[in-house]
Structure 1
Amino acid sequence: MFTINSNASDDFCYNPKTLSWNRRTDCCSWNGVYCDKMTGQVIDLDLFCSGLQGKFHTNSSLFQLSSLKQLSLSYNDFSGSLISTKFGELSSLTHLELWNSGFTGLIPTEISHISRLQFLTISTVDPYGLRLGPYNFQLLLKNMTQLRYLDLEYVNISSTIPERYLTNLTNLEYLRLSYNSLTGPIPSNVSGLQNLQFLLLSSNHLNGTIPSWIFSLPSLIYLELTNNSFSGKIQEFKSKTLAVISVNQNQLQGPIPKSLLDKQDLQFLTLSQNNFSGQIPSAVCNLKTLIMLDLGSNNLNGTIPQCLGEMSDLEVLGLNNNILSGTINTTFSTENQLRIINLYGNKLKGKVPPSLINCRNLEFLDLGNNELNDTFPSWLGGLPGLKILSLRSNKLHGPISDSRTDNLFPKIRVIDLSSNRFSGNLPVSLFENFQAIKKIGENSGTREYIAGDYSGNYANILIVTTKGLDQELPRVLTTYMIIDLSRNRFEGHIPSIIGDLVGLRMLNLSHNGLEGIIPASLHQLSVLESLDLSSNKIGGEIPQQLASLTFLAVLNLSHNHLVGCIPRGKQFDTFENSSYQGNDGLRGLPLSKDCGGDEGVPQPTTPVELDDDEEEEGDLISWQAVVMGFGCGLVIGLSIIYIMLSTHYPVWFSRMVVKFEHKIDSIMKRY
């Protein structure tokens, strides 16, 4: 017997049909059970998403349903259960769905005995937890000649694709053999698949050229060959019904095929991470239904077609990592639906196009690593849904104006302005407006990504710098919040208001001309994982409160003017010398200079944060006190020495005086 998993109600589907079953009523009236009206025998059992949980045994009464034609056990939890050989005895089956149900182990040969099957889907949530093996794979293709739909995603087959038996599947309309560890080329002499509409062979180890019979399929709708090692050129497609072409992450070359540019039903065109060359033809704008255009990481040159901004259905535009040049002269219309624009890593010049303000749905904008020469486009803050903005590694310059406009960048989660020529003070007014970063991103238990609706079709890569190295984030979690203003010409103090941005995971202000102290308010950044303030002119002591940052994994305070004792405890006990080098006034572990204090435990004092006027006044008062104290100490010291010499005080008293003077001298050296 199976139990109902009540926790399954959190999943995207949950319909516990068996809860309504009652043995005192006719089973043909049960939810999910369908009977032949003439014979009364069960012919269809639909337990899709029923929340069933437990072991699936070979003595199950299910195998007594000899007239069963359709059986769906998909989206249940039979974790650890083998697929029973008794499935092979259900010889009347035409539909068998065992997708995402936790089955494991070797798929038995007996499955191939169900020769009437038209619809077969077997997969697992545990990648490669199911195995078929080369022999059983061939046997399945040989016997199931009636198949119209075959999906074996994530089943470990570890075989080549057998040409001999593939040709026999003349009724096949849908074939998905993704993540199967398939090797070798796709067979070239296949002539019987004229009804094939969906072909998905992604994430295998397939190589060679794409055979011509694929381009000749008359009814092809969906072609996905992603993440293999295919080479050669893309030929002209015969099909007039193409909606999806995804061949990214291969070694394909040549120009963008002209035959793709007249497919009026094309919605997704992803050719990224190949070796395509030549220019982007303006005829691509004729694809009126196109939702995604991903041409990134190729060798495309020339300019960006101006008409791309007028494609009313386009949501994703990926042209990153090519050799595109000229200005971004694209005019984005007010009707556009763009959510992702990625132009990173080209040779684009000029200004940030003002018409981007028309992209009211934009969530991700990456113009980094180009040659843009402009001031900070603060007007981008008017985009209501913008979550990621990367302008890193350009020639942007000037101060980031201290605009008091409310609600700029209200949903921003990642802003990267690093490696430019920005100057002036850090933009306090912008920090005040970062409403999304003022909240700690809640973990819902499931990973949610920014613009994640396309995660199956588009690699939304973002480059960030951590530990001084560039790192690729293939997708960005909604909880991951970053501010990177490093390698600019910012000056002045670090504003304490940054402490209000409690959702920050990474803060990088390194390689600027920042002065003042480290604000103690940074201890409020309770989920901060990386803090880099290196290569500035920051002084004072490291606030002891920073020891409370329990998520801090990366700390770089090197090459500043910091003094005093390094905080102890928690994450601070894990950082190495490199985090502090270039600060001659720092003491304490892990440095070799002893901090002193009781039993070597540092006794830090954190400077109080002041406004600029107060700070200047405070500095003056401090120095006056030092001078007055030194003068008084000098007079008193000389007087004591005179009395001691004239009255012949004992030796112990003279030693005490010397020790006292040494302590005063060491204090004075700090200033």
Structure 2
Amino acid sequence: MLMHLLFLLSCSHLFILTNSSSSTQPLYHEDESSALWQFKESFSISEHASDDPSAYPKVASWKLQGESNDCCLWDGVECDEGTGHVIGLDLSSSFLYGSINSNSSLFRLAHLQRLHLADNNFNYSQIPPAIGNLSELRSLNLFLSLFSGQIPLEISMLTQLTSLNLSLNPLKLHKPSFGTLVQNLTRISELSLSNPLCHEDESSALWQFKQSFSISGDASNDPSTYPKVASWKLQGQSNDCCLWDGVECDEGTGHIIGLDLSSSLLYGSINSNSSLFHLAHLQRLHLVDNDFNYSQIPSAIGNLAELRSLDLSFSLFNGQIPLEISMLTQLTSLDLSFNPLKLHEPSLGTLVQNLTRISELLSLM
């Protein structure tokens, strides 16, 4: 009897040890760990890819050796405590540089509920249509991550979404319409699609325009002047020209509609080949109180057909006022005063006859 009791106790102890041992086994799924690792490997790490001063490369600590291949322990990864499936991935401000396509291993994480990739640099790639495969998503945050192009219709398939943030990306919404995109997202309580980034070609045009000048303390008469362009940068997210001093963008399209570099200590000249004239959506151009070194107002000024306000006063432009100003039929305000300009041909009447919207016409010479 004693032997039988000892045998039962021994078996019970063995069962407890076995059960305890099995309960400490990691719950992560190897296929998901592999998918995350492949996703990590598809990017390079660039310190210029994130603007947040607290940013750091979360994926740098991920490992596929020993017990470290338990992805549930990886920085930025959240797993369901019961099933071990990956349900959250937060790689916001992680210095990620690269792009995501529809073949990405990311889309094998079928149980993902939260995907946050804000403040990285996805190099103006499109949001892949495969985003619609992540049908369990509750929260999607791609804020300030340099995605561009059309917002994919497949986002409308994410019917579990309660929070969607695509803001501060140069995205378009032509087809589908906004209504079509969100009509199935009946659970949404937080939605942000606003404030698109500046278009890359316009950012480049502005940068080239800046580079065509030197900064001179003698270029302005205003003691409060400062070189606005000195704060412009083409690194990290700072290449969003909509955030540059003196630049105004349309909140809906991201196109540059205003450029005010008045009293900015600019010294140099503007010719008709200037990248300034690539800014086809410009509505306000103010270059007051700079030193354009007695150069002529370039005839290409007529290419800026959307201009409503043009102020070149006190800026040392010289020579003939170009006839092409008469092509700016949207102008409501024009100021060329305090410049040594001439008006032989065309006459003043010819110059302004098409400017039917003008409400402010200050001295032209």
Looking at secondary structure, tell me which structure has more helix per residue.
2
Under TM normalisation by the shorter chain, which class is it? 0.3 to 0.5
The structure whose Rg is larger is: 1
Looking at secondary structure, tell me which structure has more strand per residue.
1
TM-score for the superposition, normalised by structure 1: 0.27
TM-score for the superposition, normalised by structure 2: 0.46
